[in-house]
Amino acid sequence: MSKPPLGALQAFVLAAQQRNLSHAAQRLNLTVSALSHQIRALEQRLQRTLFVRGPRGVSLTEDGERLLDAVAGPLQAIERALQPPRQCREGVLALSTLPTIATGWLVPRLPRFVARHPELELHLHSGSGLVDFSKEPVDAALRFGPGAWPGLEAIHLFDEWVTPVASPAFLKRRPRRPGPAELARWPLLGDPGGRWRDWFAQFGGAEPRRYVANFDDSESLHRAALEGLGVALGRLTLVKPLLDAGRLVALMPQRLRAEWSHYLVYPPRSAQHAGVAAFRAWVLEEAAQHSAATAALAAGAAPARKRRR
């Protein structure tokens, strides 16, 4: 039996993902004619039609879909295996984190890390997407999630808690603070993830039929609360500095634990990196202090109920 046509399979996968032969050919540094020839040769070998050509590009046939499912993963694994290993730079620590965690939690604490490890050059990559350690020059990351990422070491840092918060100006317009059951009659701000449902299920009261406004990111939600738009279910990791400064006020002592927590994650290649080891030791200390500082605020709270999917 002849060897599998890996080059044609790679061309097929890229064309299938792009749904456009011109774009795929450009990525492969081929002409469209050469790419079409490879795909036709693959179709002849398999005696199956893989693509349907149309005026706006190409679409996969059922046979094409089955072939893509079968070969895309293994080809990507081969590509990763053939990549030269990225050399760790011991004097440099490249760290990835979400923008909200960077500005709300990590950056205010970084002077203590820099003072302890002046020999390290820190590169902070801030973005909303998950970093691909196999392709990007990043040594470790701070992540907010369930705690299981295949192929990565995940170190639990601290849990996340949420609680109703509002601005002092907003509260001046109301004679008294509400109880948990009364909160639904106040102007509430819808939060990403629908955690108000868990809040009312845990502490009593009925979820309102509508919210003053709905937000799909925590930063905008907290900003709306600062502007006096309504009551937000704030994440303590992000709003605690605002509470300490008096810019936001916690309405009641009840706190709800979020389903996800904060973790330090890194790939196996970073396990022996001196910078990662130094950062791990430091961030665990900071996480313990943060947990202790929020423990009193979270007294009496309970884990969030998982919503049915």
**Distance (Å, rounded) from C-alpha 77 to C-alpha 9?**
14
Fold of the domain spanning 85-309: D-Maltodextrin-Binding Protein; domain 2 (3.40.190)
Comparison of pLDDT for 84 and 120, the residue scoring more: 120
**Distance (Å, rounded) from C-alpha 196 to C-alpha 248?**
18
Residue 22 has pLDDT above 80, yes or no: no
What's the rounded mean pLDDT across residues 235-250? 88
**Residue 249 near residue 166, CB atoms below 8 Å:** yes
| Percentage of residues of the chain with pLDDT beyond 90 | 28
Output the pLDDT for position 2. Answer: 57
Q: What sign has the CA pseudo-torsion 13, 16, 17, 18?
A: positive
Question: Confidence band (pLDDT; 50, 70, 90) for 29?
Answer: low
Question: Confidence band (pLDDT; 50, 70, 90) for 1?
Answer: very low
Q: What sign has the CA pseudo-torsion 18, 20, 24, 26?
A: negative
Helix (H) or strand (E) holding 7: helix 6-18
Question: Confidence band (pLDDT; 50, 70, 90) for 11?
Answer: confident
**Distance (Å, rounded) from C-alpha 236 to C-alpha 257?**
10
What's the rounded mean pLDDT across residues 188-194? 82
Output the pLDDT for position 300. Answer: 38
Residue 90's CB is within 10 A of a number of other CB atoms, namely 12
Question: Confidence band (pLDDT; 50, 70, 90) for 10?
Answer: confident
Alpha-helix runs per DSSP H in the chain: 6-18, 21-28, 32-46, 62-82, 99-101, 107-116, 168-172, 195-203, 218-226, 236-244, 274-295
Instruction: Tell me the pLDDT tens digit for each residue of 87-116.
Output: 556 688 999 998 888 888 999 999 999 999
The average confidence (pLDDT) of the chain is 83
Instruction: Tell me the pLDDT tens digit for each residue of 51-62.
Output: 888 766 788 899
What's the rounded mean pLDDT across residues 9-27? 79
CATH architecture group of domain 6-82: Orthogonal Bundle (1.10)
Residue listed under structure tokens 């293994």: 74
Domain ranges of the chain: 6-82, 85-309
162, β-bridge pairs? 235, 256
**Distance (Å, rounded) from C-alpha 212 to C-alpha 119?**
50
Question: Confidence band (pLDDT; 50, 70, 90) for 275?
Answer: very high
Comparison of pLDDT for 246 and 23, the residue scoring more: 246
Question: Confidence band (pLDDT; 50, 70, 90) for 185?
Answer: confident
